[in-house]
Amino acid sequence: MKIGFIGLGIMGKPMAKNLLKAGHQLVVYDIQKAPVGELVQAGAAAGESPRDVASQCELIITMLPNSPHVKTAVLGKNGVIEGAKPGSVLVDMSSIAPLVSREVAAALAGKGIEMLDAPVSGGEPKAIDGTLAIMVGGKEAVFERVKDVLLKMGASAVLCGEIGAGNVTKLANQIIVALNIAAMSEAFVLAAKSGVDPERVFNAIKGGLAGSTVLNAKAPMVLEGNYKPGFRIELHIKDLQNALDTAHEAGVPIPLTSHVMEMMQALKVDGKQTEDHGGLIQFYEKLAGVKVRKGGVK
């Protein structure tokens, strides 16, 4: 299948490479030229604009930072909507506001273009090895049509409901991840400040009820003081803002999310917004006057 791929950032570039490895023809576009060149060297063709990409492909995938970027790439000048043929499918794998997904889908439907919202979880490592968790909203028939392609980028692809449901599910995911990181941070700072080696705490609890995928992924990084981004704090701030906006529209209080949002905003003020979201622990370290590292207090 000839697939268009728009957005070749930290996540999009390895996802597109996995589609190439699976044998699909790709036409790619990004406002940055370097990743486009890298994909072309790997066997893709370069598109001149989202419109150009859409005109050549029956399936178009977008992987962009936030709602405004998706609206511009899809509905703006030289956007997907200007090039896509009736019957083609747009799969937006960005993490955006559910209401925007529905707005974009409605505009595309007026041109006979189908859409799924299909945000992902797993960060850069799982994007590279093709084991992302993909959460999908849209028509079941459209989902079944593209499911095999999605599973070249992810270990799972689950239809969660109508359009927008994928992004609601992603917001739920991001709330749980953020609160897990905050809980881990509180616990490890308590251990270090109390003179107990946090690495031993991690090894003791990871097989019990407190164990989680988040703990296993982030604790080793924290213990090394490694905040190289797999998923940046600034992107988690974006997701939590979408969660707060969606919750307020639905009349749902999410006070714990609000607290973690303020912690991440404090780190942004400290210039740490491009670090990995596991770096949230630095908020607690600063308050307690301790560094969590292997061997205990540093």
CATH code for the domain of 40:
3.40.50.720
Domain boundary among the residues 135, 162, 189 is at 162
The tens digit of pLDDT for each residue in 218-236 reads 999 999 999 998 889 999 9
Q: Give 16-47 pLDDT, tens digit per residue.
A: 999 999 999 999 999 999 999 999 999 999 99
pLDDT score of 230: 81
Instruction: State which residues form the domain around 17.
Output: 2-162
Q: Provide the pLDDT for residue 295.
A: 77
The helix/strand/coil state of 292 is strand
Q: Are residues 202 and 158 in the same domain?
A: no
Residues 14 and 114 in one domain: yes
Partnered with residue 114 across adjacent β-strands are 89
Q: Does 204 lie in the same domain as 113?
A: no
For residues 155 and 280, membership in a common domain is answered with: no
Q: Is residue 214 within 8 Å of residue 277, measured between CB atoms?
A: no
pLDDT tens profile 102-154: 999 999 999 999 999 999 998 888 999 999 999 999 999 999 999 999 999 99
- Domain identity same for 26 and 150: yes
pLDDT tens profile 255-266: 999 999 999 999
Whether 233 and 156 map to the same domain: the answer is: no
Proportion of the chain above pLDDT 70, given as a percent: 99
The encoded tokens of residue 273 equal 């917004």
Looking at 144, 162, 180, the residue that finishes a domain is 162
Do 118 and 62 lie in one domain? The reply is yes
- Nearest CA among 78, 150, 54, 69 for reference residue 104: 69
Query: How far apart are alpha carbons 221 and 224 in whole angstroms?
Result: 5
User: Which strand (E) or helix (H) includes residue 158?
Assistant: strand 154-161
Domain count, the chain: 2
Q: Let me know whether 13 and 150 are in one domain.
A: yes
Both 222 and 84 in one domain: the answer is no
Report yes or no: 170 and 207 within 8 Å, Cβ to Cβ: no
**What tokens were used for 88?**
């083609």
Which tokens is 62 given?
A: 């977008």
Residue 297 confidence (pLDDT) above 60:
no
242 and 206 within one domain: yes
Residue 89 has pLDDT above 90, yes or no: yes
Q: What pLDDT is stored for residue 231 in this prediction? A: 87
Q: Do 273 and 149 lie in a common domain?
A: no
Confidence of residue 298 (pLDDT cuts 50, 70, 90): low
Give me the pLDDT at residue 154, please.
98
Distance CA(113)–CA(115), nearest Å, equals 7
Residue 154 and residue 60 share a domain: yes
Residues 187-192, mean pLDDT to the nearest whole number = 97
- The overall average pLDDT reported for the chain is 96
Domain boundary among 131, 162, 193: 162
The number of residues making up the chain comes to 298
Largest Cα–Cα separation, the chain: 65
pLDDT for the residue numbered 135: 98
| Residue 216 pLDDT class (50, 70, 90 cuts) | very high
Active site residues: 170
Confidence of residue 252 (pLDDT cuts 50, 70, 90): very high
Would you say residue 296 has pLDDT above 90? no
CA-CA-CA-CA dihedral for 285, 267, 213, 154, to nearest 10: -160
